[in-house]
Structure 1
């Protein structure tokens, strides 16, 4: 482990029960053991992202990211909660809901973005750049990217029977920014290139404790609980959530299993952070399904039931009452 260049005062404080995520050298056989069990592990000492670790600094990216515009999210506070624009009410989508986005999205050249970061003052909107690593980035970054340790990544994909690599997303965050708790429907290797991020993960079994928005909501896959000020009356089971945390350092790669909740924050007073995601499809369901089903498989089933009912009823407001009438008095004590 590298010399610790951060301290606990840079972490936001939450009333949560947290354990440390295992931190293992990439040659440790327990890495594959944990991945096979769909459990998180922090992989250290590898060459997975070494050609970009502490190389893709804000200055280097400003010079080499390219002249195309990049997607930048702006927020009036430190939270950058994802939303799905396709689920917002519109003429083309009458089944959407009325929704005020918590952030706004714009396009910026990297030079403009970096200038705003350098000149940022309290009261200004916070910034978060997200750029797919594709043919729109500069040639030097492409060369760095091609020299990642793809042999290691491909070996994990093959060993654990994941599907295809779907995308790589470059994330440039202002210090103190938070991506609130959510889950993804893909396997994820999260690589830290510059600066420090804290990641808090919860297993799929904590689904009831984290109160996800309904699938038709623009905040689908996001927790309704505000970690800064949890409403224990509305969300009483949140106090039972059992999390796992780590601070991801430059060169570290965190395995975030499919359907695991994750809450990610750039450390306060730590400067900008640069990260990259490797997202993989979960792989096909085996012909001879093993039982009992895993927790993440049950979540997938619940999502499909919600989607099916919405498709039949054509009104999101009718889904909840129908589910309650099916369960109450029949599947409850």
Structure 2
């Protein structure tokens, strides 16, 4: 048995789509889409290459973190290696590696990069704080939803990425941890015996290639794997509804802090409590599916 994720994410021509068409077909109904060539209008589309970053920022020392560490809390706090940025880019181009580059402040080191792009007019209400991501082949960003509930436009500049998405209404089938934005399941190695609700989850899959921009609506679960070493950039917009915006504010300002406090107080017992709730919710979700099947 495998997960129901074979539905392809739609692909449209990002150079011809109108604001009205994007709003009616994707933004309002909150449906994901891959916009091919959306960023052709900006210098970054052709300018930003691996070689460009090697030459313009190559001497900057970057701290790298090993994903093989037994203690995941140390992975993000204690660097396990350090090398020049150009050496790291050469590494991820040539071979898989467990060394990851987290939250590298590209625009702080080279603010003139901000002049290489704008914010596509197919929509508005942009949060003008862009992020860049660099990753080696086979590295995976485990499935989660973004805590601020923003809409995301993720553009690929080098390499390929496999993206698997699930809409927010699939959260219970993914065993979402309460007070958190992560689930318990591994969609690449589904354990249907431990997590039987996974069989009811319905997702979609797409491959991002050079010049592709993924529009990912707020609240969507996403699992991202680098099929090749490469990099991309994300820009965000405010959630499409008042409810979504308020949920994002709640998540960032109160829910996350509450979760951190409870973990400090109760430790593993708090995590176990959240797991129990996740399983109870998944069981209820499965029961609803079965009841609906009987009624039909």
Under TM normalisation by the shorter chain, which class is it? Answer: 0.7 to 0.9
Aligned ranges 1:39-50 → 2 under 5 Å: 39-47=31-39, 50=42
- Residues 183 and 230 of structure 1: is their aligned pair in 2 closer, same or farther, counting only changes over 3 Å? same
Separation in structure 1 between the aligned mates of residue 13 and residue 98 of structure 2, nearest angstrom:
39
Aligned match of 2:89: 114
Q: Secondary structure at the match of 1:209?
A: helix
Q: Does 1:148 align with 2:117?
A: yes
Correspondence for 1:30 among 18, 21, 41: 21
Q: Does 1:190 align with 2:150?
A: no
- Alpha-carbon distance, 1:276 to partner: 0.5
Q: Does 1:65 align with 2:57?
A: yes
Aligned match of 2:66: 74
| Residues 171-211 of structure 1 deviation map (CA, whole Å, 9 limit, x = unaligned) | 12112222121110322110111121111110000000111
| Residues 270-325 of structure 1 deviation map (CA, whole Å, 9 limit, x = unaligned) | 4x21211113343772xxxxxxx78x98898899679769879964646949x97x
CA contact (8 A) 1:169 1:276 kept: yes
Aligned match of 1:136: 109
| Residues 79-135 of structure 1 deviation map (CA, whole Å, 9 limit, x = unaligned) | xxxxxxxxxxxxxxxxxxxx6438456354313323543675x7x634345433423
Q: Secondary structure at the match of 1:234?
A: coil
Separation in structure 2 between the aligned mates of residue 310 and residue 178 of structure 1, nearest angstrom:
24
Q: Secondary structure at the match of 1:47?
A: helix
Aligned match of 2:73: 101
Instruction: Point out where structure 1 has 5 or more consecutive residues left out of the alignment.
Output: 1-12, 78-98, 286-292
CA contact (8 A) 2:141 2:225 kept: yes
- Residues 203 and 256 of structure 1: is their aligned pair in 2 closer, same or farther, counting only changes over 3 Å? same
Correspondence for 2:98 among 101, 115, 125: 125
CA contact (8 A) 1:187 1:281 kept: yes
What is the count of residue pairs matched by the alignment?
268
Aligned ranges 1:186-225 → 2 under 5 Å: 186-215=150-179, 220-225=180-185
More displaced 10-residue stretch of structure 1: 223-232 or 198-207: 223-232
Instruction: Point out where structure 2 has 5 or more consecutive residues left out of the alignment.
Output: 288-296
- Residues 157 and 69 of structure 1: is their aligned pair in 2 closer, same or farther, counting only changes over 3 Å? farther
Q: Which has the higher helix share?
A: 2
CA contact (8 A) 2:53 2:86 kept: no
CA contact (8 A) 1:54 1:250 kept: no
CA contact (8 A) 1:132 1:168 kept: no
- Residues 302 and 168 of structure 1: is their aligned pair in 2 closer, same or farther, counting only changes over 3 Å? closer
TM-score relative to the length of structure 1: 0.65
- Residues 37 and 69 of structure 1: is their aligned pair in 2 closer, same or farther, counting only changes over 3 Å? farther
Aligned match of 1:94: none
